A and B are shown apart, each in its own frame.
Chain A
Amino acid sequence: MLFRVFFLLTLFFSTPWTQALPLPDHAPILTVTGAIKITNQPGKAVFDAAMLARLEQKVVVTHNPWSTSARRYRGVTPQALLDAVGADGNVLRIKALNNYITEVPVSDFRRFDVVFATHVDGEIMSVRSKGPIMLVYNFDSSPTLQAEVYYGRSIWQITSIEVIQREP
């Protein structure tokens, strides 16, 4: 009997929807909504800079059309962010501070080297330097990425993400 209770508890706590995000200690910089299972506010997951910093990080060094030389971008891996919110969608609808919106297929994160950058060349990205968050593709890694489609998806001043499950 005792073993059965232990097994059920283990099963219960190991499922993603039971995991809860902590509340942010500082001003939030990113809100994730839509098809997610893990939240810290009603219907949404809110992150401050420290919470994002605790997720798996990666670095992408690449040229892009908005700078004259290669820049070193560091930030959260897309998969780590999606896992953190228990995302269950195939498209991200990403919105910028100036209300610009772009849609990014989740499959891009498997096909290409992508990062939700919070730092550029070791510095925190300010609003004026396309912060607080910028989605950066490693444009140098593949000629396929050097196209308008991917330049358009590389959105900056990200403020919110909506996870969408769209029929193929």
Chain B
Amino acid sequence: MPDTSLFVQMKQRVHQLILAATLTALLLLGALVVYLSMQANEASYVNARSAFESSRWNALQLQVQTYRFANYLQRLSKDDLPLQGDSLFQYDLLMSRIDLLRTGQIGDLVKTFGGGRVTRLINIINGEFELIGASLARLEQGDLAVVSNILARLEVTDTRINELVVLVNEGANDHVTEQRNQLNHQLELLQNLCVLLTLTLAALLILLRQQTKQLQTLRSQGKQLEAQLEAQAKQHTNELICLVKQLHPSVAELVGGLSPQSELSAADTRRIRFKAQQLDRNLNAIQALITPFEPQHLKENLTATVEVFDTLFEQLIPQLRFQHNRLILRLDPSLPAQLTTDFVLLQQTISPLLESVMLHDSNQCFALTIQTSDLPVPTNGLFQAPIMVQCHLQTSVKDFFSEAAKAMLIEPLHNSENDGLMTYVCELGVSLTLMKLRLEQLGGGLRLSIKPDQTLDFLLDLPFEKVHLAPTLAVKTAPLSGHIHLVKSEQFDGHSYQNTILVHILSNMGLIVSQSTSLVNQEDATKADLILLANHNPIAAMLTLPELHKDQDEYDIPTEALIPLPAIITFATLRTFLQRFLGEHHGSA
């Protein structure tokens, strides 16, 4: 039994060779037909001209002109004298006929007739006529006696001229016959070639029909294989989802089993609970990653931008406070006020990074800016009207990643082709790897940049669905009025980006903002509606406040105007906070 695949391959190869050979034959035959057509056309042209240029006419004209010359000489009498060149004129007429048979294309043709006998005859006749020419001088002088000699010479030449006419006639007939035979031969060849061409074309059509059938068969086989693969992938996905779902109860059971009466310390309990929650979220992320993404699901989850991003931090706020971490969230006013998104999907996508980075260490500062991204919108068909949004997370964190992980995230596009999934998992951890994969699946990405002081900045680019005619946040949000003075202590302030972002937020809200590092000699502070103790961690605030209160008394600043800023500032909390304090003095806009 032959190897089936090898046999099929050989069969295909033979088919390809036959097809190539047929095409080559077709081209060659086509070229040959064109060439022969041109040749036949040229031959026809030459033949036509030869027919016209037939030397028969010129040979007969020579004979006629000879008789005319003889006739002229016979009619000459003494009354015609002096001739005044008339005989020479008649002679020239005769000689012009000889010249026509000796020169030009006609001369060339005539030379080939009669195996050289025609050429010899023409030369003899020409020689005789040249001799007659010599006698004409005497005739011009009035000597009519030379006429009889000339006539005798013409009579002798007449036989040769007659022979010339016969030979030229035969030669011309042979020439025309040969031309016609050549044409017939070429025509026959052309006909045969046309038949061959038609047969080759027919063969080509049959081959093409066979190839088309094979192609159709292959396509249908391909479709079947594709369907089988899809079915298998779906089955595997369902199995994985099922497995992940079965793991959730175990994790919940683990967390539920941690009672205050257990022998574990409070710190250990908290740590285990945290790890269990992290495991649960990872399971969710895995489930999200393997579940086919359904764009239509987005349309069922229309959410305001502000609420979406504030809600992301709700679960983290207790832990952030516990670790004395500080966070400020800024929403770019140019963002659409509404974006279509799946909140669960968004939370699953972004939360792993926020959790990993923000809960990594205590006493850290974070600033998250949500703004429009410069990256091109994805063309993966998941979104009908996508808009790329960037989550820019500035941190005070330094030693979070290994050097290899940093390299992977700084140049993700460069590394993604070379590094395998396991390399990512080893360097970034399961959560971040899953998040990165999910972002890339959606058409976004995760990048890392390291500032000169070695602190980390994260850039998450994520596509959202645009809401038709949605106003921008700046348009939708009512502005506030008032003057805010920010007091920031350089002693405790290591991260000015939080302060910068706060100034941006307040300015965007329509507030007048002034800043200083103390209240000493600050005219702006005396005019301010509210003095915010900004950019301090809570411990620093406790230490700084009494000093500031002294300054307040000294510079006549109302005590109630000096307020420490909350550690966790989201869009909604800051607005509520400001409205509460400004409302007591001036009220909101």
Contacts and interface: CB of A to CB of B under 8 A. Distances in A.
Interface residues of B, number: 23
Interface residues of A, number: 18
B95 A65 contact: no
A100 B52 CA distance: 16
Nearest to B92: A127
Contacts of B45: 146
Nearest to A97: B93
B99 interface: yes
Interface string A77-106: 000000000000000000001101000000
A65 B105 contact: yes
B375 interface: no
B48 A65 contact: no
B67 to A, nearest CB: 11
B96 interface: yes
Contact of A148 (B52, B97, B105, B106): B52
Nearest to B84: A27
B138 interface: no
B108 A68 contact: yes
21 contacts: A65-B52, A66-B104, A66-B106, A68-B103, A68-B104, A68-B105, A98-B61, A98-B64, A98-B65, A98-B93, A100-B61, A127-B96, A128-B95, A128-B99, A129-B96, A130-B96, A148-B51, A151-B49, A151-B52, A151-B53, A157-B96
Contacts of B99: 128-129
Contacts of B68: 98
Contact of A127 (B64, B93, B104): B93
A40 B374 CA distance: 98
Contacts of B95: 128
A54 B479 CA distance: 104
B89 interface: yes
Contact of A157 (B48, B93, B105): B93
Closest 9 CB pairs of A and B: A127-B92, A148-B52, A66-B104, A128-B92, A128-B96, A65-B105, A65-B53, A67-B104, A128-B95
B328 to A, nearest CB: 90
A126 interface: yes
A152 interface: yes
Contact of B105 (A66, A98, A128): A66
Nearest to B89: A127
Interface in A16-36: none
Nearest to A126: B92
Given A98-B61, A127-B93, A66 B48 contact: no
Nearest to A127: B92
B357 interface: no
B308 interface: no
A97 B95 CA distance: 13
A128 B130 CA distance: 13
B100 interface: yes
A28 to B, nearest CB: 13
A65 to B, nearest CB: 5
A152 B54 CA distance: 12
Contact of A66 (B51, B61, B92, B100): B100
B571 to A, nearest CB: 87
A146 B106 CA distance: 16
Interface string B490-523: 0000000000000000000000000000000000
Contacts of B65: 98
A67 B102 CA distance: 11
B103 to A, nearest CB: 7
Interface string A50-82: 000000000000000111100000000000000
Contacts of B105: 65-66, 68
B280 to A, nearest CB: 92
Nearest to B51: A148
A88 to B, nearest CB: 32
Nearest to B49: A65
Contacts of A126: 92
A66 B68 CA distance: 23
Contacts of A147: 48
A152 B52 CA distance: 8
Contacts of B89: 127
A95 to B, nearest CB: 14
A148 B61 contact: no
Contacts of B92: 126-128
A57 B108 CA distance: 33
B36 to A, nearest CB: 20
Nearest to B48: A148
A152 B103 CA distance: 18
Given A98-B64, A151-B53, A157-B93, 16 more contacts: A65-B52, A65-B104, A66-B100, A68-B105, A68-B108, A97-B93, A126-B92, A127-B93, A128-B92, A128-B99, A130-B96, A146-B45, A148-B48, A148-B49, A148-B52, A151-B52
Interface in A122-154: 126-130, 146-148, 151-152
A126 B64 CA distance: 21
Contacts of A127: 89, 92-93, 96
Interface in B26-51: 45, 48-49, 51
Interface in B96-120: 96-97, 99-100, 103-106, 108
Given A148-B52, A151-B52, A152-B52, A67 B103 contact: yes
Nearest to A66: B104
A99 to B, nearest CB: 9
Contacts of A148: 48-49, 51-52
A64 to B, nearest CB: 8
A127 B86 CA distance: 12
A126 B99 CA distance: 13
